[in-house]
Structure 1
Amino acid sequence: MSRTITRSPQDSPEAGQNSESVLSHGLKQRHLSMIALGGVIGAGLFVGSGVGIAAAGPAIVLLFMGTGALVMLIMRMLGEMSAARPSTGSFSVHAEEEIGSWAGTTSGWMYWLMLCAGVAAEATAAGTIMHSWVSFIPAYGWVALFMVFFCASNLTAVKNFGEFEFWFSAIKVAAIVAFLVLGLLGILGVFGSAPGTSHLTGHGGFFPTGVAGLAAGLLTTISGFAGLETVTIAAAESDNPSRNVARAVRTAVWRIAVFYIGSMAVVVTLVPWNDPKVATDGPYVTVLDQLGIPAAGTIMQIVVLVALLSAMNANIYGSSRMAYSLVSRGQGPRFLGKVTRGVPAAAVLASCVFGFAAVIAGIVWPTTVFAWLLNIAGCSVLVVWSIVCLTQLKMRRRLERESPELLSVRMWGFPYLTWLTLAGILGVFAVMAANADGRHQLIGTAVVVAVLAGAGHLKQRRDRQAAESA
């Protein structure tokens, strides 16, 4: 593909449709900043990180540092591309323009699948928590209630979604900040004797489970950051996409790095990594109990519920916008492109229906269909990141040559850090291939990628033939 970039920074690939088919621009800068946090700070941090600690021990801090650095580089690439060419489809649009339809189709629908699977997992966990409080309503009843509520809220004006996500994320951020403050006081000995480095060097040392533990913990940390890319999708519906996405990316990355790395450092310093409660009750609850904070379990259950609902809300939004963008580019069923009052209503409904179907699969076929879906979704983000790297390599050179004024955000150390990031992602794939569970994920993902890439390649060939015959 060799098209010259001539569109203005405010244009999107959906431009050119009639005014009734164009998405609204109701999001503000404060919404984008919180959306960036809401899509990624979920139960994976508050509860799931305990599995990573149990697998890798205190070395989980190094894993989060390494993974956080990788994510920072990915987000810098996305920030560069989205600030220059903001669009609802974000990296999927850029991949299609720079590499071809197969890359746009693959990255877009893989991301959609990942977000919809996330909706199912989050709704299921939230329903379980609510059932433990109000037992006469079954867990699946709460799931249905949450799905209907967030589906309805996403069918209204986008600013309503933004407000929901702003306050949800504000609660999560406040909880993490409070945890970090209490944890620091605990490390200093305010709540009793200071632990020093006893938990970091004892119980088997800093690397108690060796390379195998690091490999298992790596996969947990990678999945914990998935969803951060939603902010580049949401930017297209803000009042100033180029400026807002640049600011959101800059602030969100370091905040999330501090929250994740800081939290893990506090946990492994204050409690033994091999304490069974870390994996079962969650690291946050275990630490708060250790510090003697009253009702720690109940407090964290409330925070986890808010985190789940927030991530669920953000994932419904992100999946619907990605589906809308794909369909508007001829890469999906046309009926999903229907826009009502500035909202892609059909895409919202389709994403919610798929998410609820996945919930049902989790009830009926928990170890087969649902497990397969989650495995594919867990690997999807690595596929997306790989395509992001390849896209940025081509788009940066094109922009420098044709529209350098659009580069308001620049990738650090280009092209060396881009290639280093891609090598890191390939390294993660290699680690997955080294163990049985990882190989199963890779095989399933490879099948889905092959199908999507094949469909995209066929479209690309048809478009080329149509252009040649015109």
Structure 2
Amino acid sequence: MSVHHQPREGASALSASLHSRHVSMIAIGGIIGAGLFVGSSTSIARVGPAVVVSYALAGLVVIMVMRMLSEMASQHPAAGSFTELVRIGLGERAGFVAGWLYWYFWVVVVAIEAIAAGGIINGWTGLPVWLVGTVFVAAMTGVNLLSARSYGEFEFWLSFIKVTAIIAFIAVTGLFAVGVTSPSGPTFGNLVSHGGFAPFGWGAALAGVTSVIFALCGAEIATVAAAEAKEPARVIAKITGSVALRIVLFYVLSIGLIVSVMPWSDVVPGHSPFAAAMNAMKIPHAADVMNAVVLVAVTSALNSGMYVTSRVLYVLADKGDAPRALVPLSRRAVPLRSTLVASGFAYVALACSVLSPEVVFSFLVNASGAIMIFVYMSVCIAQLAMRKRETAPAPIRMWLHPWGSLISFAAMGAVLVAMAFSPGARIELVSSLAVLALAYACSFIGRNRSGFPG
């Protein structure tokens, strides 16, 4: 596939082939993966039914961040990556650090989702996890190399399946919970009859925000994809806030219904609570159905991860923060080399998961633990800085300015403090701080306004 150089116009050099429906589903695809369908089991086991409050609070923070991004993106709709909004608000070095942290976060997610897909296929066929993961990464790389439109269309249908599955699950469990299909009547007693609504205390519910907020990261992909939409400003105004709200509702409603139709104490960490709830309702083949949905979910998240890492790296290269050799686009206006680099890192991570699962791969995963909190905190500061300098009101305004941004920043700071005092999360915080320090150090030696050599 041949490539040609584009003038330095940033993301405007990319195609404008995505529709609003594509961008909406792309955002959903990036956020609803194995973290909801399987990872939520750990949060339920640690917090109890009050985990619904944990998800609601974490969701509120994410919605506030998305509103900040909406305000900034409505002024700069063709930024190409939401981390470029940080650059506009806080300067070149902040853009460098935020861009590379965000790229790192998503290439690790790609590897994790590939391994999750490999685990599911392994359970069905016995094929090695690393082999299946490699095939999945290669397949999603191929989809992303075709065109932005082909990626968007593929992601639309994958996400459509996920959303349909979640809505169907909410409908079925809702009927059971209110007693319509339950043989014993309403089942909401499960919310308080097994140690109370907050069996580990409200402190545990607040601490639960620490883990669940990471599952809700990803809605910001909408601002990346909007740069390749036909009318970016209108798309951003339409979907950034609504998508975040929709996702939070999916999480809160589905998790709330799970702990309503079955005792929370029956949820086993590492096993899908969705399948457990379906078994509790005597729905046949629950495990197989959920495994199929989870496979679609992780494929979708992997696909979105490949897309966002390639676009972020392309924009970094265009701004002189990565080798200029990564700027050329294919004839289909796809950042070919940036996509292949993201794919290559995923292969390396997969190899590490086999050759060094306890050291290298564990570090890669742990070091992504707090990255999104750092990036989201920089968004809060950038929004405040940009608002202070504005000469005309933005089409979309942040709520409760400046307190909305300040409270969101403080809430995320509290999450980091909670991680520091949690034995299980402390290693993730320390590893993430090491990556942050490395990115900041590289901003002094790596940045070159004329572009990296390439």
- TM bucket (normalised to shorter chain) is over 0.9
| Corresponding residue of 1:420 | 407
Please state how far the C-alpha of 1:87 moved relative to its aligned partner: 3.2
Equivalent residue letter for 2:156: F
Distance 2:422 2:369 in 1: 15
* Deviation digits for residues 112-150 of structure 1 (CA, Å, limit 9, x no counterpart): 111111000100010111122222x32222112111111
Please say if 1:381 is aligned against 2:368: no
Distance 1:202 1:20 in 2: 54
Instruction: Tell me the percent identity.
Output: 36
Mapping of 1:191-270 within 5 angstroms?
Answer: 191-210=182-201, 213-214=204-205, 217-270=208-261
Please say if 1:331 is aligned against 2:321: yes
Distance 1:53 1:451 in 2: 35
Please state how far the C-alpha of 1:463 moved relative to its aligned partner: 5.8
Equivalent of 1:41, from 13, 18, 32? 32
Please say if 1:447 is aligned against 2:434: yes
Please say if 1:289 is aligned against 2:279: yes
Please say if 1:309 is aligned against 2:296: no
Report SS of the residue matched to 1:250: helix
Q: Contact between 1:119 and 1:312, CA under 8 Å: does it hold in 2?
A: yes
Q: Structure 1: 5+ residue runs without aligned partners?
A: 1-13, 465-470
Equivalent of 1:345, from 312, 324, 336? 336
- RMSD between aligned residues: 2.1
Please say if 1:396 is aligned against 2:394: no
* Deviation digits for residues 345-367 of structure 1 (CA, Å, limit 9, x no counterpart): 00000001101111111111112
Report SS of the residue matched to 1:378: coil
| Corresponding residue of 1:9 | none
Please state how far the C-alpha of 1:410 moved relative to its aligned partner: 1.0
After TM superposition, the structure 1 stretch with the greater mean CA deviation from structure 2, 183-192 or 196-205, is: 196-205
Q: Contact between 2:10 and 2:318, CA under 8 Å: does it hold in 1?
A: no
Equivalent of 2:417, from 421, 427, 430? 430
| Corresponding residue of 2:45 | 54
| Corresponding residue of 1:410 | 397
Please state how far the C-alpha of 1:18 moved relative to its aligned partner: 7.6
Distance 2:11 2:68 in 1: 32
Report SS of the residue matched to 1:293: coil
Structure 2 length-normalised TM? 0.93
Equivalent of 2:354, from 357, 360, 363? 363
Distance 1:444 1:245 in 2: 34
Distance 2:118 2:415 in 1: 33
Please state how far the C-alpha of 1:266 moved relative to its aligned partner: 0.1
* Deviation digits for residues 195-223 of structure 1 (CA, Å, limit 9, x no counterpart): 44432212221221236643653232111
Q: Does the C-alpha gap of structure 1 residues 413 and 103 become closer, same or farther in structure 2, counting only changes over 3 Å?
A: same
Equivalent residue letter for 2:441: G
Please state how far the C-alpha of 1:437 moved relative to its aligned partner: 2.9
Equivalent of 1:104, from 73, 95, 111? 95
Report SS of the residue matched to 2:322: coil
| Corresponding residue of 1:85 | 76
* Deviation digits for residues 238-294 of structure 1 (CA, Å, limit 9, x no counterpart): 0001100111113202211110000111011111111144x2431100111111111
| Corresponding residue of 2:138 | 148
Equivalent residue letter for 2:146: T
After TM superposition, the structure 1 stretch with the greater mean CA deviation from structure 2, 183-192 or 84-93, is: 84-93
**What number of residue pairs does the alignment pair up?**
444
Q: Contact between 1:150 and 1:313, CA under 8 Å: does it hold in 2?
A: yes
Please state how far the C-alpha of 1:191 moved relative to its aligned partner: 2.7
* Deviation digits for residues 73-105 of structure 1 (CA, Å, limit 9, x no counterpart): 000111111121023543321222221222111
Q: Does the C-alpha gap of structure 1 residues 408 and 16 become closer, same or farther in structure 2, counting only changes over 3 Å?
A: farther
| Corresponding residue of 1:165 | 155
| Corresponding residue of 1:11 | none
Equivalent residue letter for 2:375: V
Distance 1:216 1:412 in 2: 26
Report SS of the residue matched to 1:231: helix
Report SS of the residue matched to 1:377: coil
After TM superposition, the structure 1 stretch with the greater mean CA deviation from structure 2, 195-204 or 247-256, is: 195-204
Equivalent residue letter for 1:398: R
Distance 1:179 1:30 in 2: 23
* Deviation digits for residues 129-184 of structure 1 (CA, Å, limit 9, x no counterpart): 1122222x322221121111110111111000000110000000000000000111
Q: Contact between 1:102 and 1:455, CA under 8 Å: does it hold in 2?
A: no
Equivalent residue letter for 2:66: M
Q: Contact between 2:120 and 2:295, CA under 8 Å: does it hold in 1?
A: yes
Q: Structure 2: 5+ residue runs without aligned partners?
A: none
Distance 1:90 1:102 in 2: 15
Distance 2:381 2:445 in 1: 21
Equivalent residue letter for 1:79: S
Q: Does the C-alpha gap of structure 1 residues 347 and 165 become closer, same or farther in structure 2, counting only changes over 3 Å?
A: same
Distance 2:345 2:206 in 1: 31
Please state how far the C-alpha of 1:15 moved relative to its aligned partner: 8.8
Q: Contact between 1:320 and 1:348, CA under 8 Å: does it hold in 2?
A: yes
Equivalent residue letter for 1:178: A
